[in-house]
Chains A and B, each alone.
Chain A
Amino acid sequence: MIQRTRGERIFNVFNVTVLGVVALMALYPFVYTISMSLSSAAEAMRSGLHLYPRDISLTSFEMVLANPDIVSGFANSVLRTVSGTALTLFFTCLTAYPLARKELPYRGPLLFLILFTMIFSGGIVPNYLLIKNIGLIDSIWALILPHMLTAFNVIVMKNFFQSIPESLAESAKIDGASEINILARIYVPLSKPVLATVGLWTAVSHWNQWFDAMLYITSDENQVLQTFLQRIVIESSVEMIEQGLVDPNVTQFTPETIKAATVVVTVLPMLLIYPFVQKYFVKGIMLGGVKE
């Protein structure tokens, strides 16, 4: 049925090859980093592509995981991601549901109030002063509360809720169900795809956030993983020894393998969940793409 001319066959080979090269270029930085993180100091200094480590050593990971900052940073990042995502989902549902119902008084002005925050904001200094004035400096709440509701999540959730037939809510109301019951028993169970998408994007953005932690968190014990990674990446070998990150008497090391191992520790949770959630990830791009 499908007839291919010679030109088309040549094009197909060319197309598939170029895309393969593009994919390799997308992957290579990760391959290199993983390979470096697993290399011994001598292997890391060898010139070459480092597609895989010829001399495997776990020393870098031992040093990184022996660093108490990395361990507490990891725990703080997990804490902000899990609790932040749970709170976002809860309050986004709560806010989006009434806005999805046409009979809500002042629905138009309220929607505008929320939408306007997408295109205008006070900026860094006023936000910093707010966090300072409500006493959240150096608290994990400073990282969770300001992200709890975003206009974008509320609008996405509201649009999804609107696609659920209103007759369901109306008949439940006649049966005497309260609004919160209608939301919890009818709307939320029907909204699993959008909950998964919003939840995933929120979780990823919490894990990746570093700027707010850099501004608001002042003590190392409350600091998140991304900030420690940021510090380690710009450190030289001398600084690493001074910071007590490595003990030069015990091991030979190069800063590159330590940096690479820290990157891997930070990336790993993301890459492990990626295959399972990428379906929702693509959905999120569709939702966020043009309407961002």
Chain B
Amino acid sequence: MSGILFDNDSWRLYRRHKGLLVLVLPGVLFFLLFNYLPMLGLVIAFKDFRLVDGVMGSAWSGLDNFRRLFGGADFPLALRNTVTISLLRLCFGFFAPIALALMLNEVRLSWYKRTIQTVTYIPYFLSWVILGGIFLIMFAQNGPVNQMAMMVGIEPIEFLTNDFWFIVVIIATGIWQAAGYGAVIYLAALSGISPDLYEAAVVDGAGRWKQTWHITIPGLIPTIVTLFILNLGHVLNAGFDQIYNMYNPMVFDAADIIDTYVLRRIVLMDFGLATGAGLFKSVVGLMMVVLANSLARRVSGGEQGIW
């Protein structure tokens, strides 16, 4: 070991770059302590973990935790809910920022465009504790949404306690929160389209519709495809912050996701099961992201992707 790391050539290399190495050392130690050491803690998933015995002292239990996880009713339900909510978000939410960006792109008054943009991405700036607090008031039985519904003659809806309506609220408020943020990314892609293309199109007599259809949308396709694939990669993240701050026991059947399940297991001090569920999510998530990334790279000819 020392022969490889400390032969004369390397030693000279270290000495020469001592200044840089000293600077990078605290950061590397930080990542080892706060990111890599906890990864070793994942062995808890294969142990009958007891707090008093510690990670090392607890007895091994093989795949017992995973058998309990998939043998019970709660985790399979949470897994199904997670995937369902993610896919619903993708179906209904994915095109909202694209539509918003295309519409903003057609606005000629720059102050108006700027104002709309500023206003629509405010929600992304705030935590789901705050936004959840606001929506729990707004969608309450006697809240303003139901009052508006009553004004047009609709019976009050149990938005927060009915499984179906709660998911509708989750999806809708999720779009409300993230559409403005998403639009900024697409607007950046739009600003990269060469103005020459539009000028040429005008010379050829193309109207606004034709310009949008033949220049703007094709210009967005690489970004759309990449973001779509990357979203698929995050299918096991159904939005913990939002759901935890808005759900209640009455809608667990539809809204309990992997992350909320893990948290409740921790509260019950069932660390083995919680870690097992977390490990399952991390490993499947890692595979999904790697897969999605290589797909994104292939589709865009190596240009897009996270790495």
A residues contacting B by CB (< 8 A) are 5, 7-8, 11-12, 15-16, 18-20, 22-23, 25-27, 29-30, 32-33, 36, 47-50, 91, 94-95, 97-99, 101, 103-105, 110, 113-115, 117-130, 145-146, 148-149, 151, 154, 178-180, 183, 204, 207-211, 226, 229-230, 233-234, 256, 259-260, 262-263, 266-267, 270-271, 274, 278, 281-282, 285-286, 289-292
Complex alpha-carbon distance, A19 and B106, angstroms: 11
Q: Which residues of B contact A27 (CB under 8 A)?
A: 119, 122
Closest to B259 in A: A124
**Assembly CA distance A104 to B129 (angstroms):** 43
Determine if A274 and B122 form an interchain contact, defined as CB atoms under 8 angstroms apart: yes
Please name the residue on chain B nearest to A93 by beta carbon.
Answer: B23
State the CA gap A122–B39 with chains docked (Å).
4
5 nearest A-B pairs in the assembled complex, by CB-CB distance? A126-B41, A122-B38, A95-B27, A179-B19, A123-B278
The interface residues of chain A lying within 8 Å CB-to-CB of B131 are 29
Q: Which of B20-39 contact A (CB under 8 A)?
A: 20-24, 26-28, 30-31, 33-39
CB pair A126–B27 under 8 Å, yes or no, is no
Indicate if the CB atoms of A179 and B20 lie closer than 8 Å. yes
One of B70-78, B82-90, B162-170, B282-290 at the interface: B282-290
Bound-complex Cα distance A1 to B234 (A): 48
State whether B44 touches A125 (Cβ < 8 A): yes
Residues of B within 8 A of A (CB): 10, 13-14, 17, 19-24, 26-28, 30-31, 33-42, 44, 55, 100, 103-104, 106-109, 112, 115-116, 118-123, 125-127, 129-138, 144, 147-148, 150, 176, 180-181, 184-185, 188, 207-208, 223, 226-227, 230, 241, 245, 262-263, 266, 271, 274-275, 278-279, 281-282, 285-286, 289-290, 304, 306-307
Bound Cα distance from A270 to B38, whole angstroms = 33
With A19-B103, A49-B144, A130-B37 in contact, do A259 and B116 touch (Cβ < 8 Å)? no
If A50-B144, A125-B274 touch, whether A233 touches B21 (CB-CB below 8 Å) is no
On chain B, the residues within 8 Å of A146 by CB distance are 34
From B22, B144, B304, name the one whose CB has the most chain A CB atoms within 10 angstroms: B144
Contact A229 B116 (CB under 8 A): no
CB-nearest residue of chain A relative to B28?
A: A110
Main secondary structure of the interface of B (DSSP, over half): helix
The answer for the CA separation of A209 and B245 in the assembled complex, in Å, is: 13
Across the A-B interface, how many residue pairs have beta carbons closer than 8 Å? 243
A151 CA to B30 CA, complexed, in Å:
11
Please measure, in the bound complex, the distance between the C-alpha atom of A258 and the C-alpha atom of B122, giving whole angstroms: 23
Q: Once the chains are docked, how many angstroms separate the CA of A113 from the CA of B241?
A: 28
Tell me if A23 and B115 are in contact (CB < 8 A): yes
- Give the residue of A8, A20, A47, A263 whose beta carbon is less than 8 angstroms from that of B133: A263
Q: A98-B21, A146-B34 are in contact. Are A262 and B122 (CB under 8 A)?
A: no
How far does the Cβ of B155 sit from chain A's closest Cβ, in whole Å? 15
Contact A210–B129 (Cβ < 8 Å):
yes
- Contact status A126-B275, CB under 8 Å: yes
In the complex the two chains form, what is the Cα distance from A271 to B207 in whole Å? 41
Q: Across the interface, which residues of A come within 8 angstroms of B38, CB to CB?
A: 121-123, 126-127, 129-130
User: CA A230 – CA B127 in complex, angstroms?
Assistant: 11
Bound together, the chains give a CA A274 to CA B112 distance in angstroms of 18
Which chain B residue has the least Cβ–Cβ distance from A290?
A: B226
Contact A22 B120 (CB under 8 A): yes
State A110–B26 Cα separation when bound (angstroms).
12
Least distance between B50 CB and chain A CB atoms (Å): 12
**Complex Cα distance A141/B216, Å?**
49
Q: Does B274 contact A270, Cβ atoms closer than 8 Å? A: no
Enumerate 20 A-B pairs (CB-CB under 8 Å) in ascending A order: A5-B207, A15-B103, A15-B107, A19-B103, A19-B116, A97-B20, A98-B23, A105-B17, A122-B35, A122-B41, A125-B278, A126-B40, A128-B266, A129-B55, A130-B33, A183-B23, A204-B125, A208-B129, A274-B125, A286-B184
Known: A29-B138, A289-B184. Is A126-B21 also a contact (CB below 8 A)? no
> With the chains together, A171 CA to B20 CA distance in Å?
16
CB distance from A116 to the nearest CB of B (A): 8
Report the Cα distance A125→B132, complex, angstroms. Answer: 25
A-side contacts of B208, CB under 8 Å? 8, 11
A289-B262 in contact (CB<8A): no
